[in-house]
Amino acid sequence: MFGRLKPFVSAVWQAPARGLLKLGVHPNVMTIVGTAGVVFGALFFLPKGGSSLFWGVMVITFFVITDMLDGTMARLGGLSSRLGAFLDSTLDRVADAAIFGAIAWSFLNVDTHTSAAALVCLGIGAIVPYARARAESIGIDASGGIAERSDRLIVGLTATGLVGLGLPVGWLTGTLWVLSLLAAITVGQRIYTVASAAHRDPAWNKDLARKVEREPHE
């Protein structure tokens, strides 16, 4: 849903991206710095609960925005690379683990339902990009879906910040369960995309099956 705003966001970040490139900052550096900031904000603030939830969300949001600059910088500077794509995808998983893991930690002894919802949201959310990556590895574009990473982050962080400002914890619990459901639907959508491709081209699917049999370690 929010992924449709990427072209607009990219246009907004062109000026700061050009400025950083002129200073000699590499996009991969921004990826690492952004992730490190998100991890710090999540692990330092969120487990404290209370108003620290709000301030943690503010810190995380700042560094998430910083991390978003890397793609714009790579395109403008002609610095796109396989290493950059690998770092971006891998460190996104690190950031997600820190955010939702810290939420689970924060409510572990306060509200076990919220803690469980955060862990489920993290687990199912991790399958979403994995399904896309595996689909792309066999030549299928399975991007999109009802709840991409940006959707889950924006909604989840907003709910967490509002609880830090006094909103009842139940709102966060419900939000996390809904996000878990939407993530599961997204996984289903991506599986359906691959299944449809296999149905349309049985020969392609049969060849791939033989390849998998030759490589059982995958």
Question: Which among 95, 107, 88, 28 has a CA at the least distance from the CA of 62?
Answer: 95
Gap between the Cα atoms of 177 and 198, Å rounded: 32
Average pLDDT estimate for 22-42 = 91
When pLDDT is averaged across residues 129-136 and rounded to a whole number, the result is 91
Rounded to the nearest integer, the mean pLDDT of the chain is: 87
With DSSP H G I counted as helix, E B as strand and the rest as coil, what are the percentages for the chain, rounded to 5? 85, 0, 15
Residue range 2-214 forms a domain whose CATH class is mainly alpha
Q: Taking 60 as the threshold, does the pLDDT of residue 54 lie above it?
A: yes
Domain ranges of the chain: 2-214
Active site residues: 92
At 7, the pLDDT band (50, 70, 90 cuts) reads low
